Amino acid sequence: RMRLVSCLLLALCSSLVLGQEDTDDFALGFEVMVMEWVGSILDNSTESGFYTEFDSYLTTELEQSFCFDIAEECTDSEYLGCACTNAFKEQGDTCAKMPCAVYKFLYKELADILVDFLADILAEQGTMNLEQGIEILGSNVYVPLMSIFCNCTPGIYEATFQCIRNYDGDILEESGMGAMYRVIVGMLDLDSMQNIMAALLEPHCQPADGVDGENFCFDKFAKMFTTWGAMMDNTFKPFVGTKSCDAFKRVKSEFMRFGKMMDSPNMNVKKILKSYVALEKKIMCNSKCQETMAESFYGCCAQNVPRIYKEYELVDNIDRVVKKHHWTCIYGWRYGYQDGRTILQKGDQEVSSSS
């Protein structure tokens, strides 16, 4: 997934800084990459549609852990763990069914969606049809998953981080990673991470009409994502002008500054976010494009986002996590392996004594 996201960003960058011939070559390379990646995980001869080993893993390993009996006491869980199972049960029946709902979506629907995605995004050789591809992913992946998650808010935040804090899946000890896991988790600011999760998920789960009901903002956002895909497509088209409101060519300088900020070895979260805001402002607030952008992106759901981010102190929480725990976590992981048992035993004792 990260390879695809990174390649989309590179695609936008290439269209802004390369000539048309080079951009066409990049589009073809992107096509090959997508075909190889998606094709490598699919197999239409299996029940799930995924390659044999993963299909077997889904059917023989994961189902029992994720589709647990809500009424029965958990005494053994290979992957989800009893701590996670109980955490979701504590949030009520709807949340308790959420892990199984996600599993069933993954097993029964995702492979077919990826096949359609592959066919539509590569409708013409050498041409990326991102609008169609994102529409498929938005309608068939993002919306169903958000529907599952939003029916479990706000309980999903507490349940998820109870899982992380107290994870006890059998696979952890069987793999010999129990002590390592507890050391790493002990280094993390899980409270800040929980607030980040809430801030990022909550805007999607707001009522689209301002009144509690069945119409959530994720439906609105899905349409926005599709429009974004269309703008990406237009960015690659040579006949679309550099000042067109329906493409990203007009934000070349802002995008390049943002890209350099992201690539900086001295990551500064607040500066990155400031650069992103400048990019968004140029996209949305250009005097000639305001009306066009407002039709696609400005509504109650979009207006809620800054309020929710401020409520959960998103910027400060991200800053704390990155500054205080990024390198600490890497250090613990690296030296936990190199030093054998010493740091693991010491860390395990410290975590145990503080709990």
Average pLDDT, the chain: 80
pLDDT score at 282: 85
pLDDT score at 68: 93
Q: Which of 63-77, 86-100, 267-281 has the lowest mean pLDDT?
A: 267-281
Q: What pTM did the predictor assign?
A: 0.79
pLDDT digits 0-9 by tens, 245-263: 988 888 888 877 777 777 7
pLDDT category, 221, cuts 50, 70, 90? very high
> Looking at the predicted structure, is the pLDDT value of residue 126 above 80?
no
DSSP string, 251-279: GHHHHHHHHHHHT-SS--HHHHHHHHHHH
> Looking at the predicted structure, is the pLDDT value of residue 354 above 60?
no
Ranked by mean pLDDT, the top range of 20-24, 150-154, 337-341 is 150-154
pLDDT digits 0-9 by tens, 270-303: 777 788 888 888 888 888 888 888 888 888 888 8
| The pair of three-digit structure tokens given for residue 210, joined into one six-digit string | 């301002």
Question: Contact, 38 vs 118, CB < 8 A?
Answer: yes
Buried b (16+ CB within 10 A) or exposed e, 241-258: eeebbbbbbbbbebbeeb
pLDDT category, 138, cuts 50, 70, 90? very high
pLDDT score at 7: 44
Span 177-187, mean pLDDT? 88
pLDDT score at 4: 39
Question: DSSP alpha helices (H): ranges in 138-216?
Answer: 143-150, 155-166, 170-174, 178-187, 190-201
Cα-based torsion angle of the residue sequence 107, 225, 256, 118 in order, rounded to the nearest 10 degrees = 40
Question: Contact, 217 vs 205, CB < 8 A?
Answer: yes
pLDDT score at 131: 87
Cα angle, residue 200 at apex, residues 37 and 86 outer, rounded to 5°? 90
pLDDT category, 355, cuts 50, 70, 90? very low
